[in-house]
Structures are given as C-alpha cells and as structure tokens.
Amino acid sequence: MKKFFLSSLILSTPFLFFAQKESEMAQKIMDEVYKNSQVEALAHELMDDIGPRLVGTPQMKKAHDWAVAKYTSWGIPAENQQYGEWKAWERGITHIDMVFPRIQSLHGTQLAWSPGTSSKGVTAEVIILPEIKDSISFQKWLPSVKGKIVMIGMLQPTGRPDSDWKEWATEASFEKMKKDREELKKAWDDNLKKSGYTKRTLPEALEKAGAVAIVDSYWSQGFGAQKIFGAKTKKIPTVDIQLEDYGMLYRMVEHGDKPQLKIVAESKDLGIAPTFNTIAQIKGSVYPDEYVLLSAHFDSWDGGTGATDNGTGTILMMEVMRILKKLYPNPKRTIIVGHWGSEEQGLNGSRAFVVDHPEIVQNIQVSFNQDNGTGRIKSINGSGFVNAYEYLSRWLSVVPDTIQKVETNFPGEPGRGGTDYASFIAAGIPAFNLNATSWSYWNYTWHTNLDTYDKIVFDDLKNNVILTAILTYMASEDNEKASREQMILPIDKKTGERQKWPEIKQPERKGGF
C-alpha cells in the first residue's frame, strides 16, 4: 500500500505542479489587468486621436504606424507587411443643408470613396424615383434627372426600432406596422426591379444621365443609427442622410414642395495607397517555429470611429500581447498577432497572410480571433475540428468562473466567411472566433455612424483580455499539438451532396479602382 501511494504521488506530482503553475499565471494576468490595464488609453489613442480606419486612407496608414510604435515601446518586434494596393481617399468636411423652402442643416455624411465637391458644393432641387412601369418608361424618365439631386432610398414608415414598438404599442398596432412595412418594402423592391437596375447599378445610371448628387438613407433600425458603406458614383457625390431628415425631404417632394439641398463634400482622391497587415510576435523558446496566432482586423468603415468593429478586437489583442510580454516573456511557442487590413471588403488582409506565409500557417498551433463588438466573450464554436473539445475545454478550465463562463459548441461547423478566422479554417488551421454578447451590436454600432468610443464596455473588454491571455498561455504551454482532424460535414439539403470544407481564397490586391 505504501509503495502504491508513493508511486501515485510521484506520478501525480507533475500534474499538480502544472496545475499550480497555470493557476498562478491566471492570477498574475488578472492582477495586471485589474491594476495596470491600458485598454482605456489604447482606445482613446486609436478611436479618438486616429479615428476611423477605412482602407486606403491616410488614417489607416497612421493606425498601422501607431501599432508598430506601440509594440516597439513594449519591447515586442512588429512590422507593417504590404500585401496590395487600394484606392487612396480622404474624407473631408461634409455639410448637407436644405436651402428651400426653408433653411435647415441636415444630419448626414458622404459615403466612403465618394467623389468630392468644391468648397462651394452643389445646390439643386431634390427629386425621388417615379412609379416605374417598365425599363423602357424608366429610360424615358432618366433625362429628367439632369441638374437634380436624386433620392434613391425608400421612405421608412417609422423611425422607432421594433423593440420600442414592442414595449409601447398595442399588439394590433405593432403587427399592423410590420405588415405595412413589409408591403412598402416589397413595393419598393418591385418598383426598382422594373427599372432594369439594382441598388448597386442605379447610382451610375443616374450619374450618366446628369444628376448632380445622389442621396440615400440606409437605416440601421435603431434610433439615429445609419449604415455607412461605399459610394457607387465616379464623379458626383453620394451622401447618406439620417432617417429623420430623409423622411422629411421625401414627404416634401411627394407634396410638391420642391425642396433644394446644398451639399458640400470636400473629399480628396489621393490616387493609390499601399495596404498592410501589422504583425507582431513574441518569440518562442522551445518551439520557436510553432505559433499561437491572435487575430483581429484593423480596418473599419468610417461612419463612426470603428470602436466596436473592430477597435475593441484590436486593443484586446494588443493588451494581451503587452501583458504576456511582461508576465510570460519566453513562451514555449511563438505568439504572433495579426492586425489585418481590408477585412471589411472581403477578409483581404488575412487571406493574403495565409497565401503569402505558408511557412507560418502550416505550423500554427491554434488561432483566436475577435471581431463582433464590445461585449464579454460568451461562446466558442469548435469550427468543425473533431477533437477541439479536448484541448479547448482543458484550456478554458483554467479561466476562473468569476471572469466569465464560456459556452462551447463541439464540433460546430467551419466558418466560411464573416470574419478573419475563416481564412485560417480554409487552410485547415484550428481557428476559433471568440463570440461576444450583443450590446445591440447589429442595429446600433455595426458599420454605423454610432460606432464610437462611448459604446465600449470596458469591464467586459478587460474580462476578455484575461480570458484571451489565459487561452493563449495555455495553447503555448501545451505539450501536445492541437489536433487538426476535421469532421465529416453533413449533407447539403439544397444540393443533396455532402458539404465540402472551405477552400483558400485569393485576396483582392488591387481594390477600389
């Protein structure tokens, strides 16, 4: 019995030692976050000082250079790696004013890459799309847009989000509103379809016919929230006007008031700009050619300042790197972080990294990506890797319940797009998106004018730093290589054939021209 006990003690001692070591590191990480967090300062410098990070803009390059300088100040080697080129453009002052039949400044902004105006702007009457019989009648109408500003978005029947209706309206009134809105949307779509154009191709047709500006309104179904994407015109400005002011203008046109707008949009076409990924790493001491990859896209749309998409993911990964360099300067595996460019236009930065660096990609132990908003990380999907439950569950067990409990779904399914972890899944790498709680992300901050510093929830962000730092530490320390065995995918109900694993896609290396 004594021999058995002694043997058991000898065998269990390494496990007890490693468990104690892991627990101690988790406590050190928590202490550093609670006593010396840098996330507020990083958020201010990135969102307030640099601002939005639209690919091809001087602000995007400034952000890349800022990140390299910040990593260097922490003793972490970093560099900007060029992978392509994009249309170079810089946003200028935007003023949208109704000048007839009365004066009122309107809430709105020019779309990304929109052609600019002079400082005098353009002033013209506003018109709306007619009721269209067919493409022939629409072609006959087109010349009437010459010298006019054309509104191309539908009139929304309400500016209140559904949550507001659900709370305050009668059930009958709420249902009636939804039914009316669906009918209006269908009628609008059918009318546009009869023109022979789509929402994407219509602006260019109006431009060729002589319109002097395009006005749209892409409501995000939240109070004051507008999606701000890219312009489709080449010579005339395109602006988005917030729902409240857009609806007023639309009704004035319908009632024959013939409103006039003055639009000043002083953007600059700067030719061509290089596009980059910012890469930083802490070199491994035992397996320097094996990697734990942290991943977050750096670029944003520029209606707001890109705070929750993806400023929070960016500063999360930067803070994790800072903490690990301080507490874990000689990791077993190399810890590398990728701040990807041009994710918003199709995962271009991460796809380029996968194609350009096979020597790194084929030796990635695991990758953690964060993209969807400011909330605490609530779930991790197994991404279709059969044995992901074994190592992810083991690594997560070190995270104290007081930080956050993470739901897991195994084996899950491989991501095919949406954010950058999909680029690595396509290469067969165990890559996992750290999914966050909503905080009304889709309606209020995703690609909107409201995606700003004040929407960041720093308590959640700090907990995410702790979670991600512990996961990174555990993945680096693990004596075993993470299994890459893929699940057998289910039958596609539409085709009747078995689904295939996602394939590596080529990035766009010359964009926006």
Q: Residue 364 maps to which CATH number?
A: 3.40.630.10
Residues 257 and 283 in one domain: no
pLDDT at 16: 57
Is 286 among the domain residues?
Answer: yes
Is 7 among the domain residues?
Answer: no
Residues 79 and 109 in one domain: no
- Rounded to an integer, what distance in angstroms lies between the CA atom of residue 435 and that of residue 465? 13
Lowest mean pLDDT among 61-70, 211-220, 487-496: 487-496
300-330 pLDDT, tens digit each:
999 999 999 999 999 999 999 999 999 999 9
Q: Which of 336, 196, 348, 205 is nearest to 279 (CA)?
A: 336
Strand partners, 219: 226
Q: Which residue has the tokens 């590191």?
A: 25
358-381 pLDDT, tens digit each:
999 999 999 999 999 999 999 999
State which of 201, 233, 266 marks the end of a domain: 266
Whether omega for the bond prior to residue 409 falls within 30 degrees of 0, making it cis, is no
Helix, coil or strand: residue 342: coil
Q: Which of 401, 403, 390 is nearest to 474 (CA)?
A: 390
Is 193 among the domain residues?
Answer: yes
Residues 41 and 182 in one domain: no
Residues 153 and 259 in one domain: yes
119 Cβ partners below 8 Å, 6+ apart? Answer: 264, 266
Q: Report whether 335 contacts 284 (CB < 8 A).
A: yes
What pTM does this model have? 0.94
- Rounded to an integer, what distance in angstroms lies between the CA atom of residue 396 and that of residue 467? 8
- Rounded to an integer, what distance in angstroms lies between the CA atom of residue 368 and that of residue 424? 10
Q: What angle do CA 355, 51, 469 make, to 5 degrees?
A: 55
- Rounded to an integer, what distance in angstroms lies between the CA atom of residue 163 and that of residue 155? 20
Is 333 among the domain residues?
Answer: yes
Is 4 among the domain residues?
Answer: no
**Mean pLDDT for the stretch of residues 116-138:** 97
Is 509 among the domain residues?
Answer: no
Q: Which residue has the tokens 């002079």?
A: 118
Is 309 among the domain residues?
Answer: yes
Residues 444 and 365 in one domain: yes
- Rounded to an integer, what distance in angstroms lies between the CA atom of residue 267 and that of residue 301? 15
Residues 324 and 434 in one domain: yes
Q: Residue 191 maps to which CATH number?
A: 3.50.30.30
Residues 372 and 394 in one domain: yes
Strands 238-241 and 213-216: what pairing? parallel
- Rounded to an integer, what distance in angstroms lies between the CA atom of residue 332 and that of residue 341? 28
Residues 156 and 282 in one domain: no
Is 482 among the domain residues?
Answer: no
466-486 pLDDT, tens digit each:
999 999 999 999 999 999 999
Q: How far is CA 106 from CA 98, 244, 316, 323, 405, in A?
A: 7, 9, 36, 45, 45
**String of DSSP letters for 406-475:** -EEESS-----SSSTHHHHHTTT--EEEEEE--TTIIIIITTBTT-SGGG--HHHHHHHHHHHHHHHHHH
* pLDDT confidence bin for 14, thresholds 50/70/90: low
Residues 355 and 418 in one domain: yes
* pLDDT confidence bin for 3, thresholds 50/70/90: low
**String of DSSP letters for 149-177:** EEE-SPPPS--S-HHHHHHHS-HHHHHHH
The rounded radius of gyration (Å) of the Cα atoms in the chain is 26
The boundaries of the domain holding residue 428 are 26-88+272-477
Q: Is the pLDDT at 276 greater than 50, yes or no?
A: yes
State which of 251, 266, 281 marks the end of a domain: 266
**Type of residue numbered 367:** S
- In the chain the first and final C-alpha atoms are separated, in Å, by 79
Number of domains in the chain: 2
pLDDT at 403: 87
- Rounded to an integer, what distance in angstroms lies between the CA atom of residue 57 and that of residue 274? 10
| Strand order through the sheet with 149-151 | 104-105, 94-100, 260-265, 122-128, 149-151, 213-216, 238-241, 108-110
State which of 245, 266, 287 marks the end of a domain: 266
Residues 348 and 443 in one domain: yes
Tokens representing 214 are: 């395009």
Burial class (CB in 10 A: 0-12, 13-18, 19+), 488: exposed
Pick from 18-32, 165-179, 397-411 the range whose average pLDDT is largest: 165-179
Q: Where are the beta strands (DSSP E) in 207-326?
A: 213-216, 238-241, 260-265, 268-282, 287-297
Q: Is the pLDDT at 213 greater than 60, yes or no?
A: yes
- Rounded to an integer, what distance in angstroms lies between the CA atom of residue 454 and that of residue 444? 12
Residues 201 and 328 in one domain: no
Chain-centre distance of CA 467, in angstroms?
21
What sign has the CA pseudo-torsion 281, 287, 288, 292? Answer: negative
pLDDT at 9: 43
pLDDT at 4: 44
Residues 74 and 98 in one domain: no
Count CA atoms within 13 Å of residue 425 on its CB side. Answer: 28
**Type of residue numbered 56:** G
Q: Is the pLDDT at 49 greater than 70, yes or no?
A: yes
Q: Which of 114, 146, 108, 110 is nearest to 127 (CA)?
A: 146
pLDDT at 5: 46
Burial class (CB in 10 A: 0-12, 13-18, 19+), 275: buried
Burial class (CB in 10 A: 0-12, 13-18, 19+), 40: middle
